[in-house]
């Protein structure tokens, strides 16, 4: 069981490890620059090396992930915005690589209604170019495409779209996947039972390969199933419910992955109580699989 949390990074980044440990988390996610500003935070090489050593030697925190700034839009037809987005991603990847992070999670952006098919090659090319600019080699800090909730022209609103981007990169082994439970729910994916969770993860295996799924974002939803709205809720306070999450995070192929909380808590992010709630749901999910027989998959619900 590896329950993580998004925490504040701080100037030297090292305090983020203690912040995670104070919550009882065993993995963390941080921003390495302001999520809503273009100006990159510059870290001296010795700062990154110190973090890398602190992470390696930490007694309880096993993984650190970075989340790229929200301003990045690799699907934009605005040349200046696209160029800034690609450079921002390269910077985030350079910092993540220097930290020894397990990956940089990325929202791919939006084509603003211009059409997914016309954006695929541009998005894929930008991913590869940013990885090259950052000097990222296979086996180092990958870029982790995050599925979108489906609003507007967001890229990655389905596994099919994410696979198309991956294919357009030549299935570059430096490109991986982060699945967000709230975004799946909001985009109309049903994983509420053991059989449906199995079906979803078989699809992930078929489209991407199990090895590309590096982590999950573990969130409840403030909005209904199929709403296409990205609104996170604390576990047990939203529309998904603990029972609706248990079948997915208890599945044998994901139960040992870092499960990263991005819930609001009391307004300042995940709390120790949220980590404990996630552990309880995780245990309930494992119990489901101990009791569940092998069965055929029932028809999944469709988004309204």
For the chain, percent of residues with pLDDT exceeding 90:
89
Q: Count the domains in the chain.
A: 1
Q: By residue range, what is the domain housing residue 63?
A: 2-291
Beta pairing partners, 64: 28
Specify if 261 maps to a domain.
Answer: yes
| 3-class secondary-structure state, position 231 | coil
Is 64 part of any domain?
yes
Does 297 map to a domain? no
At 301 the pLDDT is 56
- Structural domain includes residue 296: no
pLDDT confidence tier of residue 278, bands split at 50, 70 and 90: very high
Q: 98 lies in a domain?
A: yes
For residue 116, what pLDDT is reported? 87
Is residue 241 domain-resident?
Answer: yes
Which of the four pLDDT bands, split at 50, 70 and 90, describes residue 125? very high
CATH number of the structural domain spanning residue 220: 3.20.20.150
Residues 52-75 have pLDDT tens digits of: 999 999 999 999 999 999 999 999
Predicted confidence at residue 297, as pLDDT, reads 47
Q: Confirm whether 259 is domain-assigned.
A: yes
- Residue 295 is predicted with a pLDDT of 52
Structure tokens at 54: 């602190």
In this prediction the pTM is: 0.94
pLDDT digits (tens, 9 = 90+) for 175-226: 999 999 999 999 999 999 999 999 999 999 999 999 999 999 999 999 999 9
Helix (H, G, I), strand (E, B) or coil at 232: strand
Q: Residue 304 falls within a domain, yes or no?
A: no
- Segment 154-180 shows an average pLDDT of 97
């Amino acid at each position: 069981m590896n329950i993580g949390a998004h925490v504040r990074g701080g100037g030297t980044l090292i305090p983020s490890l203690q912040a995670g440990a104070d919550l009882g988390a065993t993995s963390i996610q941080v921003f390495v620059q302001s999520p809503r500003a273009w100006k990159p935070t510059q870290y001296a090489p010795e700062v990154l090396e110190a973090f890398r050593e602190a992470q390696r030697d930490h007694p309880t925190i096993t993984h650190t992930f970075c989340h790229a700034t929200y301003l990045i839009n690799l699907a934009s037809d605005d040349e200046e915005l696209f160029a800034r987005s690609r450079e921002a991603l390269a910077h985030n990847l350079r910092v993540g690589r220097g930290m020894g992070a397990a990956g940089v999670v990325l929202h791919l952006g939006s084509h603003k209604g211009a059409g997914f098919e016309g954006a695929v090659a541009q998005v894929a090319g930008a991913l590869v170019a940013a990885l090259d600019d950052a000097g990222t080699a296979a086996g180092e800090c990958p870029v982790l495409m995050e599925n979108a909730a489906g609003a507007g022209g967001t890229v990655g609103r389905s596994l099919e779209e994410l696979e198309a981007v991956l294919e357009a990169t030549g299935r570059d082994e430096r490109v991986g996947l982060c699945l967000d439970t709230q975004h799946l729910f909001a985009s109309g994916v049903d994983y509420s039972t053991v059989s449906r969770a199995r079906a979803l993860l078989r699809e992930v295996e078929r489209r991407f390969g199990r090895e590309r799924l590096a982590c999950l974002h573990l969130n409840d939803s403030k909005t209904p199933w199929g709403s296409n709205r990205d609104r996170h809720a604390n576990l047990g306070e939203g529309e998904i419910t603990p029972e609706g999450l248990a079948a997915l995070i208890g599945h044998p192929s994901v139960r040992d992955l870092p499960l990263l909380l991005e819930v609001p808590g009391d307004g300042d992010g995940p709390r120790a109580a949220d980590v404990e709630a996630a552990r309880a749901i995780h245990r309930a999910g494992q119990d489901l699989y101990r009791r569940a027989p092998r069965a055929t998959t029932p028809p999944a619900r469709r988004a309204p």
